[in-house]
């Protein structure tokens, strides 16, 4: 239950951040339960984003292969830009494009230092 509350809290934080910047935001039904859809969809004029949020304290983030490939389908099928939004405690949110993740045996991964260098800030979206 702790992980669900932490994840839901992170999603609500992102909803607020996007809303404050003029986006219309939808939290996906089943968020955190299945890997078929991203956690959030954010829309503003010509900017359309699918966001998978991760509040994760490790220095390496791993996204399970099936979840990652479903996120890629959102980009390919819907033409929407998809990001993994990652935040560690007392750090800023980093929006990471799927293209920079490294493929591993059972997942796609990125390290925190690389994410901070490559990822974008919400003000850039």
80 burial level (CB within 10 Å; 0-12, 13-18, 19+): middle
Q: What are the pLDDT digits (tens) for 11-63? A: 999 999 999 999 999 998 655 555 678 999 999 998 999 999 999 899 999 99
The structural domain count of the chain equals 1
CATH number reported for the structural domain that contains residue 38 in this entry:
3.40.1350.10
Is it the case that residue 9 has pLDDT exceeding 60?
Answer: yes
Q: Structure pTM?
A: 0.90
The full DSSP string for 42-108 is EEETTEEEEEEEEE--SSEEEEEHHHHHHHHHHHHHH--EEEEEEE-TTS--EEEEGGGPEE-SSEE
- Please tell me the distance from the alpha carbon of residue 83 to that of residue 4, in angstroms, as a whole number: 20
Q: Which residues are catalytic?
A: 31
**pLDDT of res. 1:** 42
**pLDDT of res. 32:** 52
Domain that holds residue 42: 2-124
């Amino acid at each position: 239950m702790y992980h669900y509350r932490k994840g839901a809290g992170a999603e609500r934080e992102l909803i607020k951040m996007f809303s404050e910047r003029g986006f219309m935001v939808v939290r996906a039904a089943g968020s955190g339960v299945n890997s078929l859809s991203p956690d959030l969809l954010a829309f503003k004029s010509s900017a359309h984003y699918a966001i998978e949020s991760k509040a994760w304290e490790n220095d390496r983030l791993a996204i399970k292969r099936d979840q990652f490939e479903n996120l890629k389908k959102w980009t390919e099928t819907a033409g929407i830009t998809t990001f993994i939004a990652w935040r560690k405690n007392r750090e800023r949110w980093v929006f990471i494009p799927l293209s920079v993740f490294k493929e591993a045996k059972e997942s796609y991964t990125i390290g925190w230092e690389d994410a901070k260098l490559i990822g974008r800030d919400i003000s850039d979206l």
